[in-house]
Each structure stands twice: as C-alpha cells, then as structure tokens.
Structure 1
Amino acid sequence: MKYKFINFIQRIREHLWFRPLLFCLLSVAAALFSHQADETPLNDLVPEIQTDSLENLLDILSASMLVIAIFAVGSMLSAYSAAGRTATPRSFRIVITDDVSQYALSTFIGAFIFSIVATVALGNGYYNKAGKFILFLITLIFFTAVILIFLRWVDRISRLGRLEHTILQVEEVAAKSLSNYIKNPLRQGVPVIHDFENGKPIFAQNTGYLQQINMSDLQELAEEYDLRVRLNSLPGKFVNENLEIAYVSSNNTLDLTEVSKRINNALQIGHTRLFNEDPRFGLITLTEIASRALSPGVNDPGTAIHIIGSHERLFFLWNDKNREKEENKVVYNNIEVPQIEMSDFFDDAFKPIARDGAGFIEVILRMQKTFSALETINNPEIKSASKKHAKYALNRAEASINIADDLNILKKATL
C-alpha cells in the first residue's frame, strides 16, 4: 500500500497542473491566515496600513500576474513543442517536468489567486489593523518572490526546448536511472539460479509496457503461499496476455487464479515506458535524437557526435570504483530477478547510430574512439561489447563509404 501511494505521488507530480494547484491552495491559506493576527497583541504594536493602498497593491499584483501567467503558459508550450520537433517525442515527458518552469508558473498563478482572495476579503472588512499589516507583509513577499522567480525563469525559458538543453535533461534522467540499476541490478532480489523445471507460468492480464515492479508485494505473496517467483520480464518490456511475465514454484497446492491476480497487481503495465524504472529507455531516447539528426532532412552529424559523448559518460558510470555496492543486499529472497545483458545496453545506444551514421566518417570515427575509451573500463562485458560494436560500426561504414583513405583512418581507430 505504501509503495502504491509513493508511486501515485510520483506520477501525479509529473503533471503540469500539480504544482500550480498546490500553490493556489497555499495562497488562499496565506490570504486567510492574515486574519488570525487580529486576535493577537499585534494590534497594538504594528502601524496602520491604509485599505486603499493595500487594495491598489493587490490590484497591481492580480493584473500583472494574470498576464505573466498567460505569457508563461504560451512560452512553455512553445518550448515543449520545439523539444518534440527537434529532439524526439519521448523527451516531452522529461521537458514538461522542468522544475524551474513549473515553480515559476505555480508562483504566478498562486500570486494571482492570493491577490483575488485577499482583495475580496479586504473589501468585506475581513481584516483589522494587525490583519492588514500581515497581509501587507505577505503581499510584499509575493512581489519579491515573483520578481526573483521571473528573472530566473526568463533565463531558463530561453534554453528550455532547445536541442542541447533537451539532450542534457535526457542524459541526467538516464544517468539517474542507470545509477540506480548499477547499484542494485537485482532490485534486492536473488539472481536466476534455481531450478524451475516444475514452475508454473503466470500470464499478463493486460497488453502494454511493463512500467514498475512492486517487489514488496511479490515477497509478501511468496511468503504467504510458500513459493518462489521468477520474473520473466523487466520494466520496459512490452508484454501481452499470451506472454509469461513470471513463473512460480511451490511444493504446496496453489490457487493459480489468485496467485496470478496478485502478481499482475504487483506489476504495473501501461501504454508508455517510464524513465525512472527503465534504465534502457534513456539510452534509447538519446539515440532517437541522434537518428533524427542523421536523417537526410536534418543532416546534423554534430548532434549525433554530441549524443555519442553522452553515451560515453553514461557507460562510464560502471567505472565508478567508489560506488556503494548493494547488489548483494538481499531483501526479497523469494524473488528471482533476471539482469539486463550488457549487449542490450550497447544495442540501444550505438547500433542505430552506426546504421544511420554509416556514411559520416566523423560520426563513425567518434564512435570508434568511444569504444576504445569504454574498453578501458574494468568490466569484461563492456570490453566484449565494445569490441563487437566497433567491428559492427566499421562494417557499416565499409558498406557506405567508398573512399579508401577514410576507411583506412577508421580501421586504424578500430579496436
């Protein structure tokens, strides 16, 4: 239940309306809170604030905030649209969660609601001397916050939606997801090592992408029925009703209908992939940006080279020798979890770029240098995948480049 609540909060926070709604509630509370000061000794200590001056101040705030909020929404929508056109539609979910823009819009709308509520309350004699003074202070705080946030937001909106900034945002999200995976690839479960010859398949009840796995619910089920669960799918996989998403094994007689229902309830299936639980999705999104840049209509190999550099930084996360190793920390000892093959990560990151950039020597050359760098990481799987993809990229280039000098340069740079 706790996991579902946390997941619900995480999902709802991604919506554009969440922070503005929260700020609206806080602004209404602030406007009404000022009245509480009238019941304190502040009435004898604070100076008198003229109602007319306070009303004028609130009128200025309400009139300006409505205009700025409309302008902010228009600018943000333009930035979101630009991100979808120049990068990839998959980046929209990341761009729309930009904290600076959401806080700015929330502040503008919250200040507008505050000024309206305060004006109505002030006109109906809701405040006395102390209440007016507190309302005056809160209004000044809103003015200061609006000015500072607006200046910060103007700098942000000038970059929001631009291709370079979008790439940076996607890379940051991908790095976070990959770091979590590298730290704990088994999700605190156990590796797939046990005999499941008598295991019974559990089929998905919906068709779509597996988005999240509630390991605690699965462990609770396994302990209740004295069974072992082997997951057959990880977040990011597209499942259907004829696909075995898991297997269960037990020495007891099982109510497979109930077990299947509870396992499916622990596995969230949706229409799209999620970045935070799917470490491959960030790599795929970056590669889509590179493929678009290499299309004949765009012809921008520089962006593809930029993406290759992003991939190199992401794979060097495996090189962090100071990272706390938690993969041996088993919490869900009844759940077997498969690991993602390193070859899958490399296929997501480099194969489409090698295909679409085969005719660009600068792109393939940058890839070969990246593979040489990745080969220095003390990880046998990365070393093997680097050599394999270096050869694949060279073969692609040989089929597209007819200049012998260019091919010789690429061969010298190949592992």
Structure 2
Amino acid sequence: MNTIGIFLKRLAQRVWFRAAVFTLMGVALALVSGIIAPWIPFSPSIDIGQDSVGSILQILATSMLAVTTFSLTAMVTAYSSAASIATPRATQLLVQDSTSQNVLSTFIGGFTYSLVGIIALSTGYYDDQGRTLLFIGTIIVVVIIIVTLLSWIGHLSGFGRMDDIIDRVEHAAQTTLVTYASRPTLGARATSDAPRGARTAVHARTAGYVTHVDVPAIQSIAERAGVDVFVASMPGTLTRPDHPLARVTGSPGDETISALASAFTIDTHRTFEQDPRLGAISLSEIAGRALSPAMNDPGTAIVVLSAMHRVFLASFAQTPDRELRYPRVWVTPVSLSDLLEDGFRPIARDGASSLEVGIRIQKMLASLAKAAPPNAATLRRAADEAFERARRALPPEDRQQLRATRRHAWTS
C-alpha cells in the first residue's frame, strides 16, 4: 500500500470521519424529502400533520443526544480501562473498532436528521407530500436506531474487557506478522549491510516512529535517479533528524533525497500496519501487567502466551514470497530472535517466579520448534534463557518440576 493509501485508510479509521459522513447523510435525508416531493406523480394517501411529525422528531432529537453522550462515555471508559489493565498500545485498536464507530455515527446522524427536520418544518419547507416523505424517512431512521441500539448493548458486554483486548491485539499481531512472513523483504533485496558506496544519507524531517515505508515509491525514485537505496529505518524504528532513514549510492540530487524522505511515514506513535514487532510487544505488555505484584494474575499471562503461540504458528505456516519486485531497494528483515525477545523474554522475566508461567513458556516454545524445524535452534535458545531466569527465581521443588516438564516438552 502506498503513502496515499495509508493516509486514506487511517482517515477512514478516525472516529470523527465516520461521524461526519453520517451527519451529512442525516442532513441530506432530512432535506431530500422537500426536494423530491414535487416530482412525485401521485398524492400520498396518508394524512400527516405538521405537528405530529415535529413531535416525533423532537423526541428523536432529545433521545439521540442522551444516547450519544452515554455512548461516548462508555467508549472513553473502555479506552481508559484498556490502558490501565492491559497496555496503552491496545487503545488504538479500540478506537478503530468499527462497531463502536458505526454506533456513535448512527446516533449522531439520527440527531442531525431530526434537528434539521425540526428546523425545516418550522420554516414551512415541506408541503403535504414532503411531510409524508419525511414521516416515512423518520420511521426508517427509528428502525435503524433501534437495531443499532440493540447491537450496541450486546457489544458493550465485552467491549474493553481483558479477553476482548487480548483478542484484538492477537488479531492485529497475527495479521501483521503473517503479512510480514509472506513477504519479509517487502519485495526488495535482503541485506544486513548497505550496498557498497551508499554514503549519502536520507534524514528524517522530524523525530518519531517510522510507521510505513513505501517501497514501490522508493523503487520508482531510485530508477529515475539511477541509484540504489538501503532502507536503514524499517517500520517501528525510532528516528530523529540526525538519524538516517536510508542511504543512497552515488550522488543523488536534493530533489531525489527529498522524494525518498517523503516515502517514509513518521508518526508520534507506533502502529500495527507494517510493524511485526509491535504485536509481540503489546501482548507481552499485557502479560507483564498481569504478572505485576499489584495484579498477580498468572492466568492472564498464560492466556497471552496461548495467543502468542497462535500468532507465531500462523506466521510459520506462511511460505515466503521470494520474488524480487524492487531490485534497487535493500532492506533488513526483522529476525525471529528479535520477535522472540519482544514477545517471550519480558514474560519470562516478569513471570520467573511463577511455575505455571515457566511451564507454559517451555511448552509453547517446544511446540513452535516442532512446527518450524528450521527455527528450532533459535526457539531453543529462547527456551534456555527463560529456563535460566526461572531456575534462579524458583524454589528447589518447583525448579525440579520445571526441569522435568522442559525435558519432556523438548524430547517427546
């Protein structure tokens, strides 16, 4: 996806954007009755008085204002709860929840529709046919609102709860990691070193996190300039104006350097779109919060380990696409060891004194090693590190049980 596509995708995920669209739809629906009424070839047989329609709209406007306020309060409470009981990184997933956005937008659209309808009625905007069409439109809006309200009640029963947050983070992590596993180099060349002669640096214009790298755009720019580009800052990298985003061979002009800098999207916070490490970090943060002395909830940490196990299994099942689409672009893929450090190491550290957590870590890593034999050595090293942490923290009897469980998990 290019930079414009990322911008449009993020714009559509904004709460205010969807609310604005529904507001315009509410205004249009309220006014269209007066516009199309003269074009109707027959007179409606329903006798609708101006006061009756106005009364219905008045009730609708009052109730929608109250329901909108309640919904906003419920959403803000869920965001705060996610940040306090899980991880602040999960808040962006709750904000992007399509159900809550549609509900809030529907209520705002219904309020706008009724408000515009009341104003139009008071100015004599509608004739008899227009009032009939307005009444029919009002019935449709009421039905939509009732259905939306019922679905909202069901959605609120789990929205922002711990299980809901873990599921959302797992889904986001799995989506990103599976995409990464299928194209680890984003279609470019893989290398850990810059091409020879890549001395010209492309610097960021501002400090922040790289959230998206437009590799097709970089390839196009490199072809026009006749240069090779080494991407030094992959998504998730914290960058600053003195830190290079990329290095370029040859002597590219200022226009080329500026165009290359524009191919990197830099934000103040990391996002899940192209950053495979953020999902593992977020899951481990949830487990770390649960394992803190204040919560002391190893059960949640075990649930998180199961979620992380599913995420890695899904990524291991992917066949990497090795097709070289962008030969003038060089990138450094994220290593499995980095992902394991982001996901399992914090849990192994914070849960070192929990026998149950230690056992689950050994079982999960052994299972992943059997599912992906080429990665078995890396996974075994992560398991050895986790066991060493637990060995130093557990009492002798628990240490012996963990050692026996570990031996069985890795040999069976």
Same fold by TM-score greater than 0.5 = yes
Q: Kindly, what percent of the aligned residue pairs are identical?
A: 32
Aligned to 1:409: 401
Q: Does 2:351 align with 1:357? A: yes
Corresponding residue SS for 2:196? coil
CA–CA distance in structure 1, aligned partners of residues 71 and 196 of structure 2: 60
Conservation of the 8 A alpha-carbon contact between 2:200 and 2:249: no
1:332-373 residue CA offsets vs partner (Å, 9 max, x unmatched): 221112211010110011000000000000000011110111
CA–CA distance in structure 1, aligned partners of residues 41 and 155 of structure 2: 41
Q: Give the superposition deviation at 1:243.
A: 2.8
Corresponding residue SS for 1:211? strand
| Paired positions, count | 406
Q: Does 2:391 align with 1:398? A: yes
1:35-82 residue CA offsets vs partner (Å, 9 max, x unmatched): 233122344355332222211111111111111111111111111111
Aligned to 1:338: 332
Q: Comparing 155-164 with 6-15, which one deviates more in the overlay?
A: 6-15
CA–CA distance in structure 1, aligned partners of residues 192 and 334 of structure 2: 15
CA–CA distance in structure 2, aligned partners of residues 195 and 306 of structure 1: 41
CA–CA distance in structure 2, aligned partners of residues 330 and 118 of structure 1: 58
Q: Does 2:176 align with 1:183? A: no
Letter in 2 for 1:410: L
CA–CA distance in structure 2, aligned partners of residues 215 and 195 of structure 1: 16
State the TM-score, normalized to the length of structure 1: 0.93
Q: Does 2:310 align with 1:313? A: yes
Q: Comparing 264-273 with 104-113, which one deviates more in the overlay?
A: 264-273
Task: Give 1:41-56 correspondences, 5 Å limit.
Answer: 41-56=40-55
Corresponding residue SS for 2:371? coil
CA–CA distance in structure 1, aligned partners of residues 194 and 125 of structure 2: 74
Letter in 1 for 2:183: N
CA–CA distance in structure 1, aligned partners of residues 292 and 320 of structure 2: 42
Letter in 1 for 2:267: G
CA–CA distance in structure 2, aligned partners of residues 51 and 187 of structure 1: 62
CA–CA distance in structure 2, aligned partners of residues 344 and 31 of structure 1: 56
Letter in 1 for 2:309: E
Give 5+ residue unaligned stretches, structure 1.
Answer: none
CA–CA distance in structure 1, aligned partners of residues 224 and 40 of structure 2: 61
CA–CA distance in structure 1, aligned partners of residues 191 and 259 of structure 2: 21
Conservation of the 8 A alpha-carbon contact between 1:204 and 1:242: yes
Q: Call closer, same or farther: CA 1:42–1:363 in 2, change over 3 Å.
A: farther
Aligned to 1:23: 22
Q: Comparing 204-213 with 69-78, which one deviates more in the overlay?
A: 204-213
CA–CA distance in structure 1, aligned partners of residues 283 and 42 of structure 2: 60
Task: Give 1:206-217 correspondences, 5 Å limit.
Answer: 206-217=206-217
1:1-29 residue CA offsets vs partner (Å, 9 max, x unmatched): x9333222222233322211111011001
Q: Does 2:288 align with 1:291? A: yes
CA–CA distance in structure 2, aligned partners of residues 131 and 185 of structure 1: 59
Letter in 1 for 2:235: P
Q: Does 2:138 align with 1:144? A: no
Aligned to 2:236: 236
Give 5+ residue unaligned stretches, structure 2.
Answer: none
Letter in 1 for 2:404: K
Conservation of the 8 A alpha-carbon contact between 1:365 and 1:413: yes
Q: Give the superposition deviation at 1:132.
A: 1.8
Aligned to 1:371: 365
Q: Give the superposition deviation at 1:330.
A: 3.1
Letter in 1 for 2:137: I
CA–CA distance in structure 1, aligned partners of residues 221 and 357 of structure 2: 50
Q: Call closer, same or farther: CA 1:164–1:387 in 2, change over 3 Å.
A: same
Letter in 2 for 1:79: A
Q: Give the superposition deviation at 1:385.
A: 2.1
State the TM-score, normalized to the length of structure 2: 0.94
Corresponding residue SS for 1:288? helix
Corresponding residue SS for 1:175? helix
